[in-house]
């Protein structure tokens, strides 16, 4: 079976429900200065998918994520998000430098105004999920870049979202740290049954993480290819070093470089 297959966009993959968690219908975005960031895009994201947006810098990936999060309004078209709660992780960890890791992670619960009797349990669970239990009392400057990003992910998880939006979260990290975070992220997503919309311009990262990859054209972003990754989870280092991984990476590279003239 080939690693890369083109799903019928109207059909959910196995083990998902039929109702998409996120759907975009003819969604485009032109900024007030006239920049067309996103050409009309149709997209359905189904429960449990790990969907990666892969495309060159400036092609509208962050714009698409912000539209899904409701941080931006579309120029045209319709964005529907049926996820209960959404967690958002940005490229920069954006932690409060003066506050301990634990207080940074607790912040969304304090801001939400929800009355909860299990705040500290949730904070503990989020810290444990990213392996930061022993660093709860540290301040951000005492952490490595990778650990700061772990804290940022814990903060996104603390309100127990069902959908996680991640905008190049590991782009600033060295490759070894990034690989470790990718593996740990997959474990968290499996354990919490999260639906993930992930942005990267790393082909390797897209192949390792995703159940589905959306390849986008240069600006204004269009969907060039919508590819299902037929590799079961859990995935580990054996997948990263496998012939299947190398083959899929090469195929994806071809799709990207062929750009709009591509055969896929
Ligand atoms: P990506 O995340 O793929 O790098 P973005 O979604 O950030 O791309 O941006 C897509 C295009 O829209 C880029 O050319 C960017 O400069 C432009 N852009 C992004 N935000 C704004 C804005 N608020 N006003 C004007 N142009 C913007
Ligand atoms: Mg971006």
Cα separation, 147 vs 73, whole angstroms: 33
Q: Is 237 helix (H, G, I), strand (E, B) or coil?
A: helix
Tokens of 213: 């990859």
Mind listing the pLDDT tens digit for each residue in 67-123?
999 999 999 999 999 998 999 999 999 999 999 999 999 999 999 888 889 999 999
**Alpha-carbon distances of 182 from 145, 210, 227, rounded to whole Å:** 14, 10, 20
Determine which residue's CA is closest to atom 27 belonging to ligand 1: 31
In this structure, which ligand is nearest to the CA of 58? 1
Instruction: Please give the distance, rounded to the nearest whole angstrom, from the Cα atom of residue 56 to the centre of ligand 2.
Output: 9
Alpha-carbon dihedral 249, 191, 185, 59, rounded to 10 degrees: 60
pTM: 0.92
Residues with CB under 5 A from ligand 2 (ion): 62
| Tokens at 41, concatenated | 């895009």
CA distances in angstroms from 206 to 75, 115, 133, 177, listed in the order given: 28, 38, 28, 16
Question: Tens of pLDDT along 216-248?
Answer: 988 888 999 999 999 999 999 999 999 999 999
Helix (H, G, I), strand (E, B) or coil at 184: helix
Residue 38 token pair: 């996103």
Q: What is the pLDDT of residues 36-80, one digit of tens each?
A: 999 999 999 999 999 999 998 999 999 999 999 999 999 999 999
Instruction: Give 13's DSSP letter.
Output: P
Strands (E), the chain: 4-5, 22-30, 36-45, 50-54, 76-81, 86-89, 163-167, 195-200, 212-216, 223-229
Using the mean position of ligand 1's atoms as its centre, give its distance from the Cα of residue 58 in Å: 6
Nearest CA to ligand 1 atom 18: 37
Contact 194, 159 (CB under 8 A): no
Evaluate whether 90 touches 153 at the Cβ level (below 8 Å).
Answer: no
Residue 171 has pLDDT above 70, yes or no: yes
Confidence tier at 262 by pLDDT (50, 70, 90)? very low
Q: List pocket residues of ligand 1, CB cut-off 6 Å.
A: 31, 33, 35, 37, 55, 57-63, 219
> Residue of the nearest CA to atom 5 in ligand 1?
60
- How far is ligand 1, taken at its centre, from the CA of residue 115, in Å? 37
Alpha-carbon distance 95 to 140, whole Å?
A: 7
């Amino acid at each position: 079976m080939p690693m890369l297959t083109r799903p019928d966009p109207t059909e959910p993959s196995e083990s998902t429900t039929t109702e998409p968690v996120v759907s975009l219908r003819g969604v485009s975005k032109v900024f007030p200065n006239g920049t067309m960031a996103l050409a009309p895009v149709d997209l359905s994201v189904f429960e449990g998918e790990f969907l990666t947006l892969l495309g060159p810098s400036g092609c509208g990936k962050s714009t698409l994520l912000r539209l899904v999060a409701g941080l931006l309004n579309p120029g045209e078209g319709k964005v529907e998000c049926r996820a209960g709660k959404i967690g958002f992780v940005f490229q920069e960890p954006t932690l409060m430098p003066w506050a301990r890791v634990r207080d940074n992670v607790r912040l969304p619960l304090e801001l939400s105004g929800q009355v909860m009797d299990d705040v500290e349990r949730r904070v503990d669970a989020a810290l444990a999920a990213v392996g930061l239990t022993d660093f709860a009392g540290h301040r951000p400057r005492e952490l490595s870049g990778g650990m700061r990003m772990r804290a940022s992910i814990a903060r996104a998880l603390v309100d127990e979202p069902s959908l996680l939006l991640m905008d190049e979260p590991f782009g600033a990290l060295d490759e070894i740290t990034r690989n470790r975070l990718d593996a740990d992220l997959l474990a968290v997503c499996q354990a919490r049954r999260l639906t993930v919309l992930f942005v990267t311009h790393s082909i390797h990262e897209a192949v390792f993480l995703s159940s589905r990859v959306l390849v986008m054209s240069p600006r204004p972003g269009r969907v060039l290819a919508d590819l299902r990754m037929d590799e079961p989870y859990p995935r580990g280092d054996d997948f990263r070093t496998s012939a299947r991984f190398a083959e899929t990476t090469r195929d994806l590279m071809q799709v990207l470089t062929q750009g709009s003239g591509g055969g896929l």
